[in-house]
Chains A and B, each alone.
Chain A
Amino acid sequence: MIKKFVYSQKVAPYVFVLPFILIFLIFWSYPLANSFVMSFQDRMLGQDPKWVGEANYSKLFTDKVFLTAIKNSVVYMLGTLVLLIPFPMLFAVMINSKLMMGREFFKSSFFLPALTSVAVAGTIFRLTFGEMEGSLMNSFLGLFGVEPIKFLKNGEWSMAALLILACWRWTGVNMLYYLSGLKSIDNEYYEAASIDGASAWQKFKNITMPLLKPTTIYVTTISVYAGLAMFTESLMMFNGNNSPKNIGLTIVGYLYRQGIEKNKLGYAAAVGIVLLVIAMVINLTQLKFSGMFKKEED
């Protein structure tokens, strides 16, 4: 009887998606709801929770350190968007060009940095951007007579260092995304354009870019996600969550500091909810403007 029920074509789909439903309920919905409840409490592990209303939120919006964290995360995210979309797209188009040689070689070697873990890559870059005369970046700049720079004690420089780390790791990956997008563009378009006498730039602007839009939407979505959620890169770069003047503090870093380091679960939960709202708003707006929803409906 049970067997018949489970084997029926009506029930089978639910059996297939059951694992997802369970995981979604237990490890997403429940913690998320819990997080929401906690954000209205003064709560510490091992102590009884106290209801405090919206106090955590009103404190958050006057918390200068939190505002610094938001600023850092948003600047980092925008930085990755500016650097990790146009350039990889351009590189992909170049590699895809008939004139290019050693395609496979460059494709693979640009991908290599993505294989290193943040723990390893962050340490490498921390030492590269050391403030000593002999560390890689300073010894390079020294060739041009530049005095040693304290990269990781200065806001702009350390943001640059974090962005360079991101570029090093992800340029190759994003380039591959664009390459696979290019594969699906029909060559006929280019041939037709050539007959009309279009220049290379016109072809790129009028054919390649619009047809790569789905890829761009995808890359933008994951970059927004990854940019706003960045934490371990900064953790490794500054060898801890406490950077000078909080120049490396991100939203997740602040969540970690409040929730894990200080055991202020309620306050940390509020940080998480704010991050959730920011991420949803940015991504939904982005998807709306790029017309993604219309597409889903077809």
Chain B
Amino acid sequence: MGASQSKNNLIARIVMICFFIVLFVIIMIPFYAVALSSFKPGESLIRYGLNLSLDFKIMSFDNFIYLFTGSHDYFTWFWNSMFLTIAQVVLTLFVSAFVAYGFAAYDFKGKNFLFICVLLIMMVPFEILLVPLYSLINDLHLVNSYSAIILPGIANAGTIFFFRQYLRSIPKEIIQSGRVDGANEYAIYFRLIMPIMKPSFAAMAILNGMNSWNNLLWPFMVLGDQSKFTLPIGLKTLLTPYGNNYDLLIVGSFFSIIPIFILFIAFQRYFIDGMTAGAVKG
């Protein structure tokens, strides 16, 4: 009995691992194809399609040399994306955590109504507001500025929701003891609560950072000036039959994944915490 059980377990183990290795290979194919293609001329890619053929005759480091030495805006976009991502993460986290504390620490009139508004925003596709939001941004003279991207999302509903869930697990005694010590409400938050929230900040920083780094639609609508484009917009503009920039497109796409990969490998745990943090135990 025991022997057949462990034999069954061994088979199940082998089957499962093989299955996951196959899945792993399938998931990695697109990455491998892009990495491979970044060594091929961009034109051949569009004309013959993305594939896995190892044709050393046409492969070279030319695209990489062009990426680092050619005259193009790639690194402007790259630094724009960096700047925007950092600014957006810092501001969004600061404001959202502040708001979340209000929801978690107090009972006040209108709290339920406001919190339903938070949940509502989480359920309504932001895209339905594209047009009126664009005209609003236009009226506020914010077109072509990063504020137009940062401001509407600065009190991010998902982030508020997450921080509020996290804060609920913090004992109220801390707040009480702060009050006993004579600290005012804001000092309690900044000096006693914020330090305890560190792990949740890390998780949210990564989640918001990922979204911001990869965000395409809204920035693309409000930014008109090529010198302000972010990386996803810039890469999208390379996909045009009139520009002949395919060489930059693939190597640029490949290179755009690298920083976030490095971050991911360094802070893996926080990434995974950040993602799963959203799925709160009901």
- Residues in chain A within 8 A of chain B (CB atoms): 7, 9-10, 12-17, 19-24, 26-28, 30-32, 34-35, 38, 45, 91, 94-95, 97, 99-102, 104, 106-121, 123-125, 127-128, 130, 132-136, 138-139, 168, 171-173, 176-177, 179-181, 184, 213-215, 217-219, 221-222, 225, 228-229, 231-232, 236, 239, 252, 255-256, 259-260, 265, 268-269, 272-273, 275-276, 279-280, 283, 292, 295
**CB closest chain-A residue, reference B46:** A127
Contact of B128 among A24, A222, A255 (CB under 8 A): A255
**CB closest chain-B residue, reference A184:** B281
Contact residues in A for B280 (Cβ distance below 8 Å): 214, 218
Q: Which of B59-67, B68-76, B194-202, B213-221 lies at the interface?
A: B213-221
Residue interface mask B28-67, A partner, CB < 8 A = 1 = 1111011000000000011111111100000000000000
Q: Beyond A20-B155, A102-B17, A124-B30, is A117–B184 a contact (Cβ under 8 Å)? A: no
Contact residues in B for A14 (Cβ distance below 8 Å): 102, 108
Contact residues in B for A213 (Cβ distance below 8 Å): 282
Verify A295–B282 contact, CB threshold 8 A.
yes
B67 shortest CB reach to chain A, Å: 15
Q: Beyond A14-B108, A20-B99, is A176–B276 a contact (Cβ under 8 Å)? A: yes
Contact of A16 among B98, B124, B154 (CB under 8 A): B98
- In the complex, whether B239 has a CB less than 8 A from a CB of chain A is yes
Contacting A at CB under 8 A, from B108-139, are 108, 111, 114, 117-118, 121-136, 138
Contact residues in B for A219 (Cβ distance below 8 Å): 279
**CB closest chain-B residue, reference A109:** B24
Q: Beyond A123-B239, A239-B239, A252-B127, is A136–B276 a contact (Cβ under 8 Å)? A: no
- In the complex, whether B257 has a CB less than 8 A from a CB of chain A is yes
Contact residues in B for A20 (Cβ distance below 8 Å): 99, 114, 117-118, 155, 160
Verify B185–A124 contact, CB threshold 8 A.
no
Contact residues in A for B245 (Cβ distance below 8 Å): none
Contact of B131 among A17, A27, A111, A269 (CB under 8 A): A269
- Residues in chain B within 8 A of chain A (CB atoms): 9, 12-13, 16-17, 19-20, 23-24, 27-31, 33-34, 45-53, 95, 98-99, 101-103, 105-106, 108, 111, 114, 117-118, 121-136, 138, 151-152, 154-155, 160, 184-186, 189, 210, 213-217, 221, 231-233, 235-236, 239, 249, 253, 256-257, 260-261, 264-265, 268, 271-272, 275-276, 278-282
Q: Beyond A124-B30, A132-B49, A279-B123, is A19–B99 a contact (Cβ under 8 Å)? A: yes
Q: Which of A91, A102, A124 has the largest number of chain B CB atoms within 10 A?
A: A124
In Å, the complex CA distance between A34 and B132 comes to: 6
Verify A176–B272 contact, CB threshold 8 A.
yes
6 A-B pairs with the lowest CB-CB distances in the bound complex, closest first: A135-B49, A16-B102, A214-B282, A117-B214, A229-B125, A127-B50
Verify B276–A180 contact, CB threshold 8 A.
yes
Q: Beyond A115-B264, A136-B49, A256-B130, is A280–B256 a contact (Cβ under 8 Å)? A: no
Verify A112–B127 contact, CB threshold 8 A.
no
Verify B264–A125 contact, CB threshold 8 A.
no
Verify B132–A120 contact, CB threshold 8 A.
no
B272 shortest CB reach to chain A, Å: 6
In Å, the complex CA distance between A118 and B232 comes to: 8
Q: Beyond A7-B184, A13-B102, A177-B278, is A119–B114 a contact (Cβ under 8 Å)? A: no
Verify A19–B128 contact, CB threshold 8 A.
no
Verify A16–B264 contact, CB threshold 8 A.
no
Contact residues in A for B154 (Cβ distance below 8 Å): 19, 23
Contact residues in B for A23 (Cβ distance below 8 Å): 151-152, 154-155
Contact residues in A for B53 (Cβ distance below 8 Å): 134, 139
**CB closest chain-B residue, reference A273:** B128
Verify B49–A138 contact, CB threshold 8 A.
yes
Contact residues in B for A268 (Cβ distance below 8 Å): 130-131
Verify B99–A27 contact, CB threshold 8 A.
no
Verify B125–A252 contact, CB threshold 8 A.
yes
In Å, the complex CA distance between A239 and B48 comes to: 17
Given contacts A31-B129, A255-B127, 12 further A-B contacts (CB under 8 A): A7-B185, A12-B102, A17-B102, A99-B13, A113-B30, A117-B231, A121-B30, A135-B49, A138-B49, A214-B279, A252-B127, A279-B125
**CB closest chain-B residue, reference A31:** B132
Q: Which of B98, B114, B271, B272 has the largest number of chain A CB atoms within 10 A?
A: B272
Verify A280–B217 contact, CB threshold 8 A.
no
**CB closest chain-B residue, reference A30:** B136
A278 shortest CB reach to chain B, Å: 10
Contact of B129 among A28, A177, A265 (CB under 8 A): A28
A254 shortest CB reach to chain B, Å: 11
Verify A260–B276 contact, CB threshold 8 A.
no
A68 shortest CB reach to chain B, Å: 18
B74 shortest CB reach to chain A, Å: 13
Q: Beyond A19-B154, A112-B31, is A35–B128 a contact (Cβ under 8 Å)? A: yes
